[in-house]
Structure 1
Amino acid sequence: MSEAMRDRLIVGLDVPTLTEADRVVAALGDTVSFYKIGHQLAFAGGLGFARELAGSGKKIFLDMKLLDIDNTVAKGVENIARMGMTMLTIHAYPKAMRAAVQAAEGSGLTLLGVTVLTSMDDADLNEAGYALTARELVKKRVAQAREAGMGGIVCAPTEVNEMRDVAGPGMALVTPGIRPAGSDHGDQKRVMTPGDAIRAGGSHLVVARPIVAAQDPKAAAQSILDEMAAA
């Protein structure tokens, strides 16, 4: 049953070098089919690596969290679509999302709206000048993402169940902040186990440190896939 979960587990290549990223991918082999590349690896040659992985048949979630004026966002999305990426994040501001959706039309690239980072809680948002709670702001941005025509959103697993009602059945709900029972939460504040996140309605789970920092990454990934399948 865990085979059915392979395309729903996204391993975050949150490592500092291409050598380390290549080591993780080689260790995981066919167990993992989907990888996330974010800022750390992107600025160490990871964009070329993303193209190579996509060319080898892997799915790639490019986590760039784009936000800029409409034209700049659109031009960036157009080029990323040409790279063969599967998913791309855009900060869930309505104008940026609308520009991105128009630029990605017909490409097959799934655009994800970033609602509220999972490292942030209500106190962090208050410090940043927001009057809304994390849950209220996520809910508002999910509705705006759906209206803009985005393919999905990124939210904490603790918010998935409620946000599915707002997003509707067609949008992907991608959840970072996944931590197997007993593992260190690190800088994540709104976390959930893989099984609980699947039961809550998450479509894709992003897992980085519990896999890439494990002594046996392949065994760690398989254990998470098994837990997802059992859920």
Structure 2
Amino acid sequence: MSDSKIIVALDFTEADQAKRLVDRLDPSLCKLKIGKELFTAAGPALIEHFTNKHYDVFLDLKFHDIPNTVSKACQAAANLGVWMLNVHASGGLPMMQAAREGVDKANISVAPLLIAVTVLTSMDEATLHSLGVSRDLPAQVLALATLTKQAGLHGVVCSAQEASMLKSALGKDFCLVTPGIRPHNSDKDDQTRIVTPAEALNLGAHYLVIGRPITQARDPVVALNTILNEI
């Protein structure tokens, strides 16, 4: 297994696309993230394929449902042998506690990290207010992250711009996973709250989720190594 800080987001539509990319990578240099699109297309077999190649897999399905359903979904996900999985913190304290109970019931030797999504990095404050949230964006992130820690989860997905605040408020061991990472001279795409890899780690992030700057690079291996050298 890898201790790399880089999680490569496999945002593909088909398993074969993901496999071709991953065959060029190295499990000692990065971890992998499988999200809704790829998991819906390829299913649990793809997770098994990558774990058999000794990759740590972050299953990014962002469960958000009634507590009993989320508990069973998290138990099933943990049984797949993933390294990390997540839920939406906005599902509330009982739902997150149920998620933790589900992971604890899994028939595995090493439980995965269970984290929660605070505010999606594609959202800005205007979007948040349009949903009826009166807090400003940092306050909403802190409130949801505090609730996540109260529920006994290991950490949160957040923008690196909030990492320093969360580290100060919730402690250095509370795991911070940051998407919206863009190396120098790369496109923002649909992310609005972004920082560079080195900046994110300096702000307190534990793991960096990086997709298109690696997966859509002319040479993904060079792109990954360039980021590793930068950090």
**Do both share a fold (TM > 0.5)?**
yes
2:198 to 195, 200, 215: 195
Aligned-residue CA RMSD in angstroms? Answer: 1.4
After TM superposition, the runs of 4+ consecutive aligned structure 1 residues lying more than 4 A away are: none
How far apart, CA to CA, are the structure 2 residues paired with 1:133 and 1:97?
A: 23
* Partner residue in 2 for 1:102: 101
Structure 1 segments unaligned to the other structure (5+ residues): none
Q: Percent of pairs identical after alignment? A: 37
Alignment of 1:102-141 (within 5 A): 102-105=101-104, 107-141=110-144
Contact 1:6 1:225 in 2 (8 A): no
The question of whether the paired residues in 2 share the 8 Å contact of 1:66 and 1:91 is answered with yes
Paired AA for residue 25 in structure 1: V
2:45 counterpart residue number: 48
Aligned with 1:206 (options 206, 209, 214): 209
AA in 2 matched with 1:213:
Q
Following superposition, the deviation at residue 49 of structure 1 comes to 0.5
Match of 2:100, SS state, is helix
**Please, which runs of 5 or more residues in structure 2 have no aligned partner?**
none
SS in 1 for 2:134: coil
Number of equivalences: 224
Greater Cα shift, 125-134 or 211-220 = 125-134
Normalized against structure 2, the TM-score is what?
0.93
Q: Does 1:27 align with 2:24?
A: yes
Paired residue for 1:176?
A: 179
Letter in 2 for 1:103: G
Q: 1:30 to 1:115 in 2, by over 3 A?
A: closer
Cross-structure match for 1:227 = 230
One-letter code aligned to 2:101: Q
3-state DSSP of counterpart to 1:28: coil
Higher share of residues assigned helix: 1
**Shift in alpha-carbon separation, 1:30–1:112, aligned structure 2, 3 A:** closer
TM-score by length of 1: 0.93
Q: Distance in 2 between matches of 1:25 and 1:57?
A: 11
SS in 1 for 2:25: helix
Paired residues for 1:147-166 under 5 Å: 147-166=150-169
3-state SS, counterpart of residue 218 of structure 1: helix
SS at structure 1 position matched to 2:132: coil
Q: 1:27 to 1:46 in 2, by over 3 A?
A: farther
CA–CA separation in structure 1 for the residues paired with 2:26 and 2:113: 24
